[in-house]
Copies of this chain bind each other. A is one copy, B any other.
Amino acid sequence: MDITSIIGLALGMAAVFGGAVLEGLPLSAIVQPTAFIIVFGGMLGAILLQSPQVDLVNAVKDLPIIFMGVKEKPGEVSELIVNMALKARKEGILALQAEIGSIEDPFLKKGLELMTDGTDPQLLRELLETELSHYEESVTHASKVWEGCGAYAPTVGIIGAVLGLIHVMQNLNDPSKLGGGIAVAFVATVYGVAGANLLFIPLGGKLKGNRRQTIMTRAMMLEGILSIQAGESPSFISEKLKVFMHGHDGGHKKDPGPEA
């Protein structure tokens, strides 16, 4: 559970719209179905026209990790790899085939399969590095879908506002409609700017931030798989993997790997 995502979304909405209510603005004043259709329909159209289908699918498929958090725990992965290195040393690399079935992460699974299949070390490194860099690229493109929503929402909101103002201008002879009409026009602006800043742009950022951890963990898996294949000592591997787990200075004391 990524608690800051949930708090962030709730807090942003509550502060902005709760603040408006506190100030005396009835919520009904900012509920405007046509403004909603214009802003989010237009935004959806723009992003569908812009993004290749594969990016759209990835953007939606990655949404859960924003609120559920990243599954990979670098500490556990490191421990798992060091344990496999121990087993490979004692019983040979083929002994690892029995363990592959229980591994969930598709990248680690594939890497181990290729390794136990006897793939040439040079080719194995190339395959896994290309795979990882394609993955990085696909994450970038998925988060660009959300950032694209964040870019289109305010500009389509401006279209909605100007269309509203055109409407108002046509009724200038009836001054009683003036204020209300302009208010309606402003709601499209609020929808666009709030949608972008309280939802879409932060979503894109979090997606990239969370995936950064996945990418770091996979880089660790890559290093670990190649080290097992090279027959390096488990304690040496453990030392090498630690470097992927450090935070910002203070992290040096909580190495989860075994000091075998």
Contact A13–B166 (Cβ < 8 Å)? no
Nearest CB in chain B to that of A158: its residue: B193
| A5 vs B165: C-alpha distance when bound (angstroms) | 30
Contact A4–B53 (Cβ < 8 Å)? yes
The 3 A-B residue pairs whose C-beta atoms are closest, nearest first, are: A15-B41, A12-B45, A8-B48
Contact B170–A16 (Cβ < 8 Å)? no
Contact B30–A15 (Cβ < 8 Å)? no
Contact B190–A51 (Cβ < 8 Å)? no
Chain A interface category by residue count: 35 or more
Contact B180–A169 (Cβ < 8 Å)? yes
| A38 vs B14: C-alpha distance when bound (angstroms) | 9
Q: Does A94 touch B at the CB level, under 8 Å?
A: no
Contact B243–A130 (Cβ < 8 Å)? yes
Taking a contact as CB atoms closer than 8 A, the residue among B11, B25, B212, B243 that contacts A44 in the complex is B11
List B contacts of A240 (CB < 8 A): 123, 127
List B contacts of A224 (CB < 8 A): none
| A198 vs B39: C-alpha distance when bound (angstroms) | 11
| A250 vs B202: C-alpha distance when bound (angstroms) | 25
Given known A-B contacts A15-B38, A22-B34, A131-B246, A45 and B8 have beta carbons under 8 A apart: yes
Contact B41–A11 (Cβ < 8 Å)? yes
Contact B30–A163 (Cβ < 8 Å)? yes
Contact A16–B29 (Cβ < 8 Å)? no
| A65 vs B20: C-alpha distance when bound (angstroms) | 37
Contact B10–A45 (Cβ < 8 Å)? yes
142-182 of chain A: CB within 8 A of chain B = 142, 148, 152, 154-156, 158-160, 162-167, 169-173, 178-180, 182
Given known A-B contacts A166-B25, A186-B169, A16 and B197 have beta carbons under 8 A apart: no
